[in-house]
Amino acid sequence: MNLNEIENYIQINYKPVKAKWSGIVIHHSDTMDGDKKDWEAIRRYHIYNNHWKDIGYHFGVENISKKLEYQIGRPLHWNGAHCIGFNQTHLGICLVGNFDIKEPTPEQYKSLKDLIILIKKYFAIKEVIGHRDAIIRFRNEPIKTCPGLKFDMSKIV
């Protein structure tokens, strides 16, 4: 999907009764991004291994056939299943890749930043944080590196 298709999706599916999002939590998949659609593999893992209703994230960005594409995850009126303590207030976005090993490309940062700017048009987003920062805030312990040791949050906020 491209950014215009994501915007159409938000316009059609935004249900203000439940989806009063105030923040975004950024994740990485902790897997290598190939040229095929890894998003569906993540969805299957969340459904069949974790026994969730759907993938835990609301949106994703991944490389498919050497082109970055946006992915739709959970419906916008559903709470996330991506970060304890933040699922009811923060949308989850997953950038497919392992950013403990290598830094996202400039194109990946730009795609993620463009998605965040679009989301901010429709929701009262007050903060964009990494999963690791959310966990530290919730549990006061650094148990995650997500969205990766080599992921620079300053490049998207």
91 in Cβ contact with 142 (< 8 Å): no
Write the pLDDT tens digit of every residue in 90-118. 999 999 999 999 999 999 999 999 999 99
In the chain, what's the furthest Cα-to-Cα distance? Answer: 40
Report cis status (omega within 30 of 0) of the bond before 104.
no
| Average pLDDT in the chain | 91
CATH number of 3-7+16-155: 3.40.80.10
Cα–Cα dist 3/38, whole Å: 19
SS3 61: strand
Q: Within 13 Å of residue 117, how many CA atoms lie on the same side as its CB?
A: 10
Q: In this prediction, what percent of the chain has a pLDDT beyond 90?
A: 73
Instruction: List the one residue out of 100, 43, 102, 37 whose CA is nearest residue 63.
Output: 37
Alpha carbon distance, N-terminus to C-terminus of the chain: 23
Instruction: Quote the tokens at residue 74.
Output: 């959970």
Question: Which residues of the chain fall short of a pLDDT of 50?
Answer: 17
* Confidence (pLDDT) at 20: 77
Instruction: Look up the pTM and report it.
Output: 0.91
**Residues 149, 135: Cα–Cα separation, whole Å:** 15
